[in-house]
Amino acid sequence: MSNMLLKGARVIDPGSNLDAKRDILIKDRRIARVEKSIANRKARVLNARDLIVVPGLIDLHCHLRDPGRPDEETVETGSQAAVAGGFTAICCMPNTDPAIDNDGIVNYIYKEAARVGLCSVFPIGAITKCREGKELTEFGELLKAGAKGFSDDGDTVADNNVMRHAFEYSKVFDVPIFEHPIDKNLAQDGLMNEGLVSTRLGLKGSPAIAEELIVARDLLLAKFTGARLHLCHISTKGAVELIRRAKKEGVRVTCETCPHYFYFNDEVLESFDANYKVNPPIRSEADRQAIIEGLKDGTIDCIATDHAPHCQAEKELEFANAPYGMIGFETAVSMIIMELINKQKMGWLDVITKMTVNPARLIKIDAGSISQGSVANITMIAPDRKWKVTEDKMKSRSKNTPLMGYELKGRVKNVILRGSVKYSLKD
């Protein structure tokens, strides 16, 4: 394998607290040197001037629809979209058909990811068989096959006793439970956030307390059992406050939010565009601001995409009948740059920590660093690059984003995985 030299980059490495112009020499799939100036005639040179170079991004929460819905996404098309968005590792959720509830399906996903060869794909195993919320899966077998945690994502485990046993079982292996915190009885299939906007539009709302009630329950169970809890797609002010308090009390909890929860508020639903219909719903402006504050003060550990592809015909149904979810791999970096970085709400080091170091630590993988000897997983970002979101530019098989047709700022230029270029943006 040939050597590679990245010249003149602004290197941001949270692990070493580095934010400076550096050259990076890659040799034998690893980073050999990170210095102010490196000369190596034998290395392939990549001009990184005006680019921000960070450890390969890690997405803790996405949906590849494989097995079950190849018309919406597959491991292959999802991997193509992921690397175009800057991700060198992704965690796929188990709400597939059939669910990821046995080692055979875990093995299938790893084999598909290896065949495709674009990014690392780590399955999250189901907490309960068929995701029915009744009988626990074989955690040990799933972990042995390579699952990185457990979730019934798409649904909450409603039975408190089942959830308690899931925590106790997961503690034996020291792996996290990824919870989808929505009480279905309170949410009542709400189409958007319950509030002034939903009242004005005449749409059934899902109240913030539907999320917060499950967050509170799971924090209590995590405290009681001493197990690891990871709360998915946090969207409300009250949930952030509950998590902040629990962390101070020593509860072993981490959490994530998604770009659409700090980029939009529920007023965007006035368009009746079903691509804004997600679960949990896009919340109020007060919730949006609380999410940003939670990111800033460290209450929220990670930024994930919740990439949720759906075919166009289903998203074009009447709003009430359209499925929940939007794609997110390819627009995440732009939304983060435009809302958090350019508006000076967060700095690059803090943002990249939430997309590299923290996710890597949570699922215990060797990633998230640009330092001598580390695996050469690298994302190169053009922060000022303007681009228009169009269907032909999107690698995902599904195109369900409300940003279609919008001009965004900031785009991934190159992605390197284990020393090999896996994605290059065509000018």
Q: What is the pLDDT of residues 306-317, one digit of tens each?
A: 999 999 999 999
Question: Which contiguous run of DSSP H or E holds residue 208?
Answer: helix 208-225
- The arithmetic mean of pLDDT across residues 36-55, rounded, is 93
Give 200's pLDDT tier (boundaries 50, 70, 90). Answer: very high
The reported pLDDT for the residue numbered 82 is 98
The whole-number pLDDT of residue 251 equals 98
- For residues 242 and 215, give the distance between their C-alpha atoms in angstroms, rounded to a whole number: 7
Q: CA–CA separation, 46 vs 35, rounded Å?
A: 15
What pLDDT does 40 receive? 83
What is the fold of 56-363? Answer: TIM Barrel (3.20.20)
**CATH architecture, domain 4-53+373-424:** Roll (2.30)
Q: Which amino acid is residue 251, in one-letter code?
A: V
Q: How would you label 360-377 residue by residue, b for 16+ Cβ within 10 Å and e otherwise?
A: bebbebebbbbeeebbbb
* Structural domain boundaries in the chain: 4-53+373-424, 56-363
Local confidence band at 119 (pLDDT 50, 70, 90 cut-offs): very high
DSSP lists the bridge partners of residue 421 as 416
pLDDT one-digit tens code per residue, 121-175? 999 999 999 999 999 999 999 999 999 999 999 999 999 999 999 999 999 999 9
Residue 345 has pLDDT above 80, yes or no: yes
Confidence band (pLDDT; 50, 70, 90) for 14? Answer: very high
Provide the mean pLDDT of the chain. 97
In this model, does residue 2 exceed pLDDT 80?
Answer: no
> What share of the chain in percent tops pLDDT 70?
100
Which residue has better confidence, 375 or 39?
375
Residues 242-247, mean pLDDT to the nearest whole number: 98
Beta carbons within 8 Å of 93's beta carbon, 6+ residues apart: 61, 62, 63, 100, 124, 151, 153, 154, 178
| Residue 41: band (very low, low, confident or very high) from pLDDT cuts 50, 70, 90 | confident
Rounded Cα gap, residues 147 and 17, in angstroms: 30
Mean pLDDT of 96-115: 98
Cβ atoms of 140 and 174 within 8 Å: the answer is no
How many Å apart are CA 217 and CA 223, to the nearest integer?
Answer: 10
Active-site positions read 306
Separation in Å, CA 329 to CA 51, 131, 142, 387: 20, 25, 26, 15
Per-residue pLDDT at 42: 87
The one-letter code for the residue type at 223 is K
Q: What is the mean pLDDT of residues 83-96?
A: 98
Give the C-alpha separation, 105 to 316, whole Å: 31
Report d(CA 219, CA 342) in Å as an integer: 34
Q: What is the mean pLDDT of residues 187-200?
A: 96
pLDDT of residue 426: 86
Interval 236-242 mean pLDDT: 98
Tokens describing residue 215: 């967050």
Residue percentage of the chain with pLDDT more than 90: 98
